[in-house]
Amino acid sequence: MIETIQWSGDGIVMIDQTRLPAEENYVTCRNYREVADAIRTMVVRGAPAIGVAAAMGIALGVAQAGPDALAGPDALDASFDRICSELAGTRPTAVNLFWGIERMKRVYRSHRHLPFEQLRDRLVAEAKLVREEDIAINEAIGRNGAVLVPDGKTVLTHCNAGALATAGYGTALGVIRAAVESGKKIDVFADETRPFLQGARLTVWELQRDGIPATLITDSMAGHFLHSGKIGCVVVGADRIAANGDVANKIGTYGVAVLAKENSIPFYVAAPISTLDLAIPDGGHIPIEERSAAEVTHIFGVRVAPEGTDVRNPAFDVTPNRYVTAIITERGVARAPFSESLAALAAEKEAQPA
């Protein structure tokens, strides 16, 4: 299994996703500020993975705040708030980041009366649990989604919603993995996913390691292949899903969804319940991260556009719910009307995944 992120005695170890596939390099974040940097620079990326990173970053930050604890609970509270707000300021779109932080805040609040060592251990245990649960959740998403994948056809995916985007197994790639494990004969078309190339660099790398046949296409080829009759379904991940089922995901997803509908191909979104943001009514309320112009003007440090070029670089787009065939979660599959089906899944007891 690919180890995306792990707690170790030295700090938080992450596979460096900026270097793949050329180098399989691991970095160790030794304090919470390094964790925040790793999220910002996309050493670790993908909505569930950054949720795990934030939880671990908080645990690491508190573990290193022993001197503040000696100064009393107010000083520790102030450190805790500083740690949480630095991590919360790293990337705005994926709601899993804020979900991970909120989860750690709840644990902190209910254990802050304990001696520092016990509070620290409790936070570290919670952060490790977030990671373990994420793997189990992805496996459940995979089981729920595998039945929807047509046998003998090609699955098209966008970006990387695989083991690298999670603590392991993946959401969209989890569905693909589970379909293959169930005996289906499928192959994958991976959009390269400009500008950060998560599809070319990460999705193809992951699938090759698993021996799942993968073909790389440029983003602009998706319409051609969706029209060709070759593609059985599209499966993508999500960074935030509004109460009405509008889905924020990697830039380019919206176009794929429209082209899928135009060609009567099911468009599935695979995501954990932690990606739901039922507090916002629709996708218009999702903050869209704008990243640096250099990601567009340069490819691996080589300038491909003239000096002085005006650039826009929104990292995500919002797919309106009418293009979404179903949303696959660890608790089951939601279909339209999403405002009802998503609310019902969210309300289910947290006894899942099975």
Catalytic positions, written as ranges: 239
Dihedral angle of Cα 280, 283, 286, 288, to the nearest 10 degrees = 180
Nearer to ligand MRU, 171 or 244 (CB): 171
| Residue 198 vs 297, nearer CB to ligand MRU | 198
Distance CA 268, CA 249 (A): 12
- C-alpha of 190 from chain center: 17
50 versus 186: smaller Cβ distance to ligand MRU? 50
Closer Cβ to ligand MRU, 68 or 239, answer by number: 239
* Closest CB 327 distance from ligand MRU, rounded Å: 12
Provide the minimum distance between the beta carbon of 44 and ligand MRU in the complex, in angstroms, as a whole number.
Answer: 9
C-alpha 170/C-alpha 135 separation (Å) is 8
Taking the complex as a whole, how short is the minimal distance between the CB of residue 272 and ligand MRU, in angstroms? 8
User: In terms of CB distance, is 198 or 321 closer to ligand MRU?
Assistant: 198
- Which residue's CB comes closest to ligand MRU? 237
Kindly report the backbone phi and psi dihedral angles of residue 317, in degrees, each rounded to the nearest multiple of 5, phi listed first.
-135, 170
For residues 296 and 310, give the distance between their C-alpha atoms in angstroms, rounded to a whole number.
Answer: 10
Residue closer to ligand MRU, measured from CB, 121 or 295? 295
Whole-number minimum distance, CB 128 to ligand MRU, in Å? 20
Which tokens sit at 63?
């573990």
- For the chain, list the strands marked E by DSSP: 5-8, 11-15, 26-29, 154-157, 187-191, 214-217, 231-236, 240-242, 247-250, 267-270, 276-277, 298-299, 302-303, 316-319, 326-329, 332-334
Q: Find the angle CA(249)-CA(225)-CA(157) to the nearest 5 degrees.
A: 30
Task: Give the integer Cα–Cα distance in Å for 31 and 63.
Answer: 9
Residue 258: CB minimum distance to ligand MRU, A: 17
Burial of residue 296, with CB atoms counted within 10 A of its CB: 0-12 exposed, 13-18 middle, 19 or more buried: middle
DSSP result, 221-282: GHHHHHHTT-EEEEEE--SEEETT--EEEETTHHHHHHHHHHTT--EEEE--GGGEETTSSS
Interface ranges with ligand MRU (CB under 6 A): 45-48, 94, 159, 161, 165-166, 171, 198, 237-239, 249-250, 315
Distance of closest approach, residue 22 Cβ to ligand MRU, in angstroms: 17
